[in-house]
Structure 1
Amino acid sequence: MHKLLVLYPHPTDPEAFKAHYEGTHLPLAAKLPGMLDHRYTFEVHAEPESPYFALFEADFPDAATMAAALASPEGQAVQADVPNYATGGAVVLDYPVLTR
């Protein structure tokens, strides 16, 4: 399995971020081809304070499927939408899931 993780620093308008994210961005992300599952939260905690406001996590069977999804028209639409709500930017990570 391969994970995509997007960390969102605090936006200038948290309520506008949430409204756009849930109403527009997540429906776009749900259309990513080959994605097995996804989840998100606006409750990112760390001590003493989290630098992140929200996170998104998606599961893909492998890195090639994830890369193809991000390069697809659906993936391009998702990426093009980010500046519409993420005024704090976004940190995008991906990694293979290792198990014992």
Structure 2
Amino acid sequence: MLTMMVLYGHPKDPAAFRRHYEEVHLPLARALPGVSNIRVSYDVHDVQGGSPYFAIFTCDFDDAAAYGDAMRSDAGRAVGADVPNYADGGVTVLTLGSD
């Protein structure tokens, strides 16, 4: 299994971020071929109570090949093209493999 994790920095307008994310971006992400177990959290805190992140998105793919296929698909290109429309606080994308 491969997990994709997306860490979003604090946006200038949190309400606008959330609205666009939930109404536009998440439907695009759900259309990715092979995606499963989509999770989003806006309740992001480190152990001291702060956080450099506003939101964290995670989802799973069967393996690295399935992830690559999804990102190269039309749906994957649409997801990537949408990010600048709402993520003005910065974004970090990580992949986590499991054995």
TM-score range, shorter chain: over 0.9
Which residue pairs with 1:78 in the alignment? 79
User: Once the two structures are superposed, what CA deviation does each residue of 1:36-74 show, in whole Å capped at 9, x if it has no partner?
Assistant: 221101111112410000010010010110011011000
For 1:81 and 1:70, the matched residues in 2 are separated by: 13
Which residue pairs with 1:4 in the alignment? 4
Identity of aligned residues (%): 52
For 1:87 and 1:72, the matched residues in 2 are separated by: 25
* Alignment gaps of 5+ in structure 2: none
Regions of 4+ moved over 2 Å = none
Number of residue pairs matched by the alignment? 98
Q: TM-score scaled to structure 1, two decimals? A: 0.94
* Alignment gaps of 5+ in structure 1: none
Q: TM-score scaled to structure 2, two decimals? A: 0.95
SS at 1:86 equivalent:
coil
Residues 83 and 89 in structure 1, CA contact (< 8 A), matched pair in contact too:
no
